Structure 1
Amino acid sequence: MWTEEENCLRRRFTFKDFKEAFGFMVEVALVAEELNHHPWWSNAYNRVEIRLSTHDAGNVVTPKDHELARRIDRIAQGYGL
Structure 2
Amino acid sequence: MKTNWKTINNRLVKEFTFKDFNESLAFINKVGEESEKINHHPKIVNVYNKVRIELWTHSNNSISELDHKLSKSIDRILE
Q: Deviations over 1:12-65 (max 9, x none)?
A: 000000000000000000010111000001000000000000012x21001100
Aligned with residue 16 of structure 2, among 3, 13, 21: 13
Structure 1 stretches of at least 4 aligned residues deviating more than 4 Å after TM superposition: none
| Aligned residue identity for 2:77 | I
State the aligned residue count: 76
The aligned counterpart of 2:42 is 39
SS in 2 for 1:54: coil
> Which of 49, 54, 57 is 1:54 aligned to?
57
Shift of residue 76 of structure 1? 2.1
TM-score computed with the length of structure 2 as normaliser: 0.93
Q: Distance in 1 between matches of 2:19 and 2:30?
A: 16
CA RMSD of aligned residues (A): 0.6
| SS of equivalent residue, structure 1 residue 59 | coil
**TM-score where L is the length of structure 1:** 0.91
Structure 2 gap segments, 5+ residues each:
none
Q: Tell me, which stretches of 5 or more residues in structure 1 are unaligned?
A: none
Counterparts of 2:56 and 2:11 in 1: how far apart (Å)? 5
